A and B are shown apart, each in its own frame.
Chain A
């Protein structure tokens, strides 16, 4: 065995990964080579020191406040980004899922007798899924109810804007803009095809998502 060969095998020797024959070969070389013995001694020292290093070290400052803030920021981002992307998904899904059956039950809780503004109307009571046909009667009236409900929630949000960061406010506004744009597109499509059950469902579903989004934003700000 040459010195070069020993250098190549030194790690395996130190880690106990050599076969018995190779191990004996290395031992034999080390016995007769002071330079390689020094190399082996240094290598053993490095491995021993590395293994003895402390596994723990406290950071110079408490990282928790930054972690908590970042978790909160990403929570909001997730909420808003999902809200922003959904109208497109709803639209595509609505067109594709011709078999989906949704009954729009145009019942929206009225006024504030149903609790604080944060609670808002429960979308599940607005649109209920069932296995019946589609009722489009009273769509205009239902839309007015949706608009009234979202106006209430928007007013509640308006009173809390001052407590939000500019970035959060901008994010909320952007997402509401995307939802409103989807609503306008669906409304325009409904004017061209007033009897379309599919468009009626999409309109109801989009309003439902807007209300749900507003409620979640308001919960985050309380």
Chain B
């Protein structure tokens, strides 16, 4: 357990950041990050070492976050939005006066599907085919969601 706690300490920053961007909400992001680590512990036996542990963990985190979003959507059948965007304000994070635009806040306001694809593609660097395999959507749908997300962000940027 001590070894797994060390893995948690090493990776929690990246896992939480990913959950926060996918969830768009801090409390849910904490729950998702916690669930991702619990699932990782449960599935450690299936980690074959064919990829880096971090890649395996982040992929599992994405799956956890998206499956939770799907199950919540089934339960509530409403779009989840966030009211408290202060969670994206990090101590020490410099403002972006060059744009007068806070991308984190704009991201949090995107529709969940478009936000997820943009985070995975543009922030995390996954390709559409990888996103498709990870999320269960078609690669073409991933491209369409990215197109939608970028268009909404461009509009927000130029507003």
- Per the bound structure, the CA–CA distance linking A43 and B154 in Å amounts to 6
- Per the bound structure, the CA–CA distance linking A143 and B120 in Å amounts to 61
A70: B residues at CB distance < 8 A: 34, 38
The stretch of B7-15, B59-67, B68-76, B131-139 in contact with A is B7-15
The stretch of A58-66, A79-87, A179-187, A211-219 in contact with B is A58-66
| A42, B143: Cβ atoms closer than 8 Å | no
> In the complex, which of the residues B13, B118, B150, B157 contacts A56, with contact meaning CB atoms closer than 8 Å?
B13
| B150, A63: Cβ atoms closer than 8 Å | no
Give min CB distance, A24 to chain B, whole Å.
Answer: 22
| B123, A51: Cβ atoms closer than 8 Å | yes
Give min CB distance, A4 to chain B, whole Å.
Answer: 12
**Residue ranges of A at the interface with B (Cβ–Cβ < 8 Å):** 7-8, 10-11, 38-39, 42-43, 45-47, 49-51, 53-61, 63-64, 66-68, 70-71, 74
- Per the bound structure, the CA–CA distance linking A64 and B33 in Å amounts to 10
**Is residue B78 within 8 Å, beta carbon to beta carbon, of the partner chain?**
no
> In the complex, which of the residues B34, B101, B125, B150 contacts A11, with contact meaning CB atoms closer than 8 Å?
B150
Given contacts A47-B122, A70-B38, contact A59 B150 (CB under 8 A): no
* For the complex of A and B, 4 pairs with smallest distance between CB atoms: A56-B13, A50-B122, A57-B17, A42-B154
A43: B residues at CB distance < 8 A: 150, 154
| A50, B154: Cβ atoms closer than 8 Å | no
Main secondary structure of the interface of B (DSSP, over half): helix
Task: For B4, give the chain A residue with the smallest CB separation.
Answer: A71
> In the complex, which of the residues B34, B101, B104 contacts A53, with contact meaning CB atoms closer than 8 Å?
B104
Task: For A7, give the chain B residue with the smallest CB separation.
Answer: B151
Give min CB distance, A135 to chain B, whole Å.
Answer: 38
> In the complex, which of the residues A57, A61, A64 contacts B8, with contact meaning CB atoms closer than 8 Å?
A64
- Per the bound structure, the CA–CA distance linking A57 and B12 in Å amounts to 8
Task: For A50, give the chain B residue with the smallest CB separation.
Answer: B122
Could you show 12 A-B contacts with beta carbons less than 8 Å apart?
Answer: A11-B150, A43-B150, A46-B153, A46-B157, A50-B122, A53-B104, A54-B90, A55-B123, A56-B14, A57-B17, A67-B37, A67-B38
